[in-house]
C-alpha cells in the first residue's frame, strides 16, 4: 500500500510537471494548482483507474508540493533550482494531511487506507496530530514524520553580558573552538568512509544497467551514505546541544560564514561539505531560539585570526599553515583557533546585541585591509572583491 502511494504521488507529480512545462513552451501558459487538481480528478483518474486506490488527499498534496517548488524557484531563480522530475530510485515520500492517528499503547500509526502500521515510536508527544509524512530512503527504510500542534514556551533571552558570552571559531581541523577553552573535534565522517564509498561506487558503476545486482549495489552505496549523514547529524546535535544547555552561556558569538562560497573553492569543497557548517549553523540557530540564547553573528571579514587578543595588534603576515604565532608587539604566544574564538567574542561584545529571536548579522568594527583599488565601486571590481572575500573566509578556516 505504501509503495503504491509513493508510486502514484510520483506519477501525479511528474505528470503535472510535464504538463506545466509543455503548456509554457507551446502556449506561454502558466497552469495553476487548482486547474491541475481539477484536471487530475476529472481526466487523469478516469484514464488510470489505479489512482483511485490510494488516498486522494496525498495526490493533491503532491500537486501542492509542485506548486511550492515553482514558487520557490521564481522567488529566487539563482539560489533555487527548477523543479525536477522525481525518480523511482531517490527518496520517496507522501503526505497525509488528515485523518491520521498515532497509538502509543499499540505502537502503531494509522493513516487513511492503511490501518495500524506497526512503527518504532522513538519519542512521545502531546497535542493534536496534524499531518503525517511517510518517506522511504533509497536504502529501503521507512520513516513517518508526524507534525503536531503544541505550544512550546520559548525561553526568554537575557541581555548580553561579558561573563556569559561565548565566542566560537569554526574550522576544519577542530570543528569548533570555544573562547572558554573547549574544543570539539571534527570527526571527518566522509574522510573516514571515503575509501569504502569509492569502492562501492566503482562496483556499482560496473554492474549492468537494470540488473538485480546493480540494484543491490545501489542499495549498498545508499546505505553507506545514509550512515555518514547520520553520524554527521548525531555529532552536530550533540555539540549544539552542549553549547546551548549551559547555564553559564547566554550569548554565543560566531562568524557569519559564506558556506556556499567556500564550497566553490575546489580544494576546500569536500572538507567544508564534510564538516557541514551550514547544518551546524541551522541547528544552532533554532536551538538558540528555543532555549533563549542570544546569537550574534560577526562580519565574516573581521580579522579574527590575525588580531592579537592581548594588545590588538594585527598580524597581517599570518599564513595558513601557522597554527601558533607570537605577537611581535607584546610577545604573547597564541594558539591560532583559540585566539580567533576570543577575538570573535570581543567583536560580538562590541557589536550591538540583536533582538531576541531575530538572528541576523550585525555590523561590527572591522578593519579593512583589502587593496585600495578594490574599494572603488564598479561592477567588475565588485565581483573581484567577492572573490577575495571568499578566499579570505576560507583561509581563516584552515
Answer yes or no whether residue 310 interacts with Zn ion by CB under 5 A: yes
Minimum Å gap between C-beta 330 and Zn ion is 4
Nine cell digits for residue 81: 533550482
User: Which residue's CB is nearer to Zn ion, number 232 or number 345?
Assistant: 345
User: Which residue's CB is nearer to Zn ion, number 189 or number 339?
Assistant: 339
Answer yes or no whether residue 313 interacts with Zn ion by CB under 5 A: yes
Nine cell digits for residue 160: 548580553
User: Which residue's CB is nearer to Zn ion, number 29 or number 329?
Assistant: 329
Quote the distance between the C-alpha of residue 8 and its chain's center.
29
Minimum Å gap between C-beta 308 and Zn ion is 3
CB 154 within 8 A of CB 292: yes
Which value, in Å, is the radius of gyration of the alpha carbons in the chain? 26
Stretch that binds Zn ion, among 23-31, 48-56, 200-208, 301-309 (CB under 5 A): 301-309
User: Which residue's CB is nearer to Zn ion, number 272 or number 308?
Assistant: 308
Strand partners, 170: 176
Stretch that binds Zn ion, among 214-222, 230-238, 302-310, 318-326 (CB under 5 A): 302-310
Helices (H), the chain: 2-27, 33-39, 45-47, 56-75, 189-205, 212-244, 259-263, 269-275, 277-291, 336-350, 379-397
Stretch that binds Zn ion, among 22-30, 58-66, 225-233, 310-318 (CB under 5 A): 310-318
Residue with cell 608587539: 329
Answer yes or no whether residue 314 interacts with Zn ion by CB under 5 A: no
CB 177 within 8 A of CB 340: yes
Q: Could you report how far apart the first and last alpha carbons of the chain are, in Å?
A: 50
CB 173 within 8 A of CB 259: no
Answer yes or no whether residue 342 interacts with Zn ion by CB under 5 A: no
Give the DSSP letter string of 116-137: EEE----S---SEEEEEEEEE-
* Out of 134, 217, 228, 308, the residue judged to bind Zn ion by CB under 5 A: 308
Answer yes or no whether residue 234 interacts with Zn ion by CB under 5 A: no
Helices (H) and strands (E) in the chain, counts: 11, 13
* Out of 34, 269, 311, 320, the residue judged to bind Zn ion by CB under 5 A: 311
Active site residues: 169, 255, 337
Size of the site for Zn ion (CB under 5 A): 7
Which residues lie below 8 Å from residue 325, measured CB to CB, with a gap of 6+?
315, 318, 333, 334, 336
User: Which residue's CB is nearer to Zn ion, number 307 or number 396?
Assistant: 307
47, 50, 85, 79: which is closest to 66 by C-alpha?
85
Minimum Å gap between C-beta 327 and Zn ion is 3
Which residues lie below 8 Å from residue 41, measured CB to CB, with a gap of 6+?
56
- Residue 62 CA to residue 76 CA, distance in Å, equals 22
User: Which residue's CB is nearer to Zn ion, number 331 or number 386?
Assistant: 331
- Residue 365 CA to residue 350 CA, distance in Å, equals 8
Minimum Å gap between C-beta 325 and Zn ion is 10
Stretch that binds Zn ion, among 29-37, 104-112, 163-171, 305-313 (CB under 5 A): 305-313
Minimum Å gap between C-beta 312 and Zn ion is 7
CB 272 within 8 A of CB 259: yes
User: Which residue's CB is nearer to Zn ion, number 63 or number 302?
Assistant: 302
Residue with cell 567577492: 386
Minimum Å gap between C-beta 340 and Zn ion is 14
Q: Which of positions 318-337 make contact with Zn ion (CB under 5 A)? A: 327, 329-330
Minimum Å gap between C-beta 370 and Zn ion is 23
Minimum Å gap between C-beta 265 and Zn ion is 30
Contact flags string 240-279 toward Zn ion, x per CB under 5 A: ----------------------------------------
Residue with cell 501542492: 64
User: Which residue's CB is nearer to Zn ion, number 329 or number 355?
Assistant: 329
Give the DSSP H or E segment for 333.
strand 333-335
Q: Which residues bind Zn ion (CB under 5 A)?
A: 308, 310-311, 313, 327, 329-330
Amino acid at each position: 500500500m505504501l509503495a503504491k502511494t509513493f508510486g502514484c504521488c510520483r506519477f501525479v507529480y511528474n505528470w503535472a510537471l510535464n504538463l506545466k512545462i509543455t503548456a509554457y513552451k507551446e502556449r506561454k501558459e502558466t497552469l495553476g494548482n487548482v486547474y491541475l487538481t481539477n484536471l487530475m480528478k476529472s481526466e487523469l483518474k478516469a484514464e488510470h483507474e489505479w489512482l483511485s486506490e490510494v488516498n486522494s488527499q496525498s495526490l493533491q498534496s503532491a500537486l501542492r508540493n509542485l506548486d511550492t517548488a515553482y514558487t520557490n524557484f521564481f522567488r529566487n531563480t539563482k539560489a533555487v533550482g527548477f523543479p525536477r522530475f522525481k525518480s523511482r530510485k531517490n527518496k520517496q515520500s507522501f503526505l497525509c494531511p488528515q485523518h491520521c492517528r498515532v497509538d502509543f499503547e499499540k505502537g502503531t500509526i494509522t493513516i487513511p487506507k492503511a490501518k495500524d502500521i506497526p512503527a518504532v515510536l522513538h519519542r512521545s508527544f502531546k497535542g493534536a496530530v496534524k499531518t503525517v509524512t511517510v518517506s522511504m530512503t533509497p536504502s529501503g527504510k521507512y520513516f513517518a514524520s508526524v507534525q503536531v500542534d503544541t505550544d512550546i514556551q520559548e525561553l526568554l533571552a537575557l541581555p548580553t553580558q561579558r561573563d556569559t558570552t561565548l565566542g566560537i571559531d569554526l574550522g576544519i581541523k577542530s570543528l569548533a573552538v570555544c573562547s572558554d577553552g573547549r574544543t570539539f573535534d571534527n570527526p571527518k565522517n566522509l574522510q573516514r568512509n571515503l575509501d569504502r564509498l569509492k569502492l562501492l561506487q566503482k562496483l556499482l558503476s560496473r554492474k549492468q544497467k537494470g540488473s538485480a545486482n546493480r540494484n543491490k549495489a545501489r542499495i549498498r552505496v545508499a546505505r553507506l551514505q545514509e550512515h555518514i549523514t547520520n553520524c554527521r547529524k548525531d555529532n552536530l546535535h550533540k555539540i549544539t546541544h552542549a553549547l546551548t544547555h549551559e547555564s553559564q552561556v547566554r550569548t554565543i558569538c560566531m562568524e557569519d560564514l559564506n558556506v556556499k562560497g567556500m564550497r566553490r573553492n575546489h580544494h576546500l569543497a569536500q572538507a567544508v561539505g564534510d564538516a557541514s557548517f551550514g547544518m551546524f549553523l541551522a541547528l544552532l540557530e533554532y536551538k538558540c531560539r528555543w532555549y533563549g540564547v542570544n546569537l550574534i553573528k560577526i562580519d565574516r571579514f573581521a580579522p579574527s585570526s590575525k588580531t592579537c587578543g592581548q594588545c590588538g595588534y594585527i598580524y597581517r603576515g599570518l599564513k595558513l599553515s601557522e597554527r601558533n604565532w607570537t605577537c611581535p608587539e607584546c610577545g604573547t604566544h597564541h594558539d591560532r583557533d583559540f585566539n580567533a574564538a576570543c577575538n570573535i567574542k570581543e567583536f560580538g561584545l562590541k557589536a550591538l546585541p540583536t533582538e531576541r529571536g531575530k538572528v541576523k548579522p550585525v555590523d561590527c568594527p572591522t578593519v579593512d585591509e583589502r587593496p585600495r583599488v578594490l574599494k572603488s565601486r564598479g561592477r567588475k571590481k565588485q565581483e573581484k572583491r567577492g572573490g577575495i572575500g571568499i578566499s579570505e573566509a576560507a583561509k581563516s578556516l584552515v
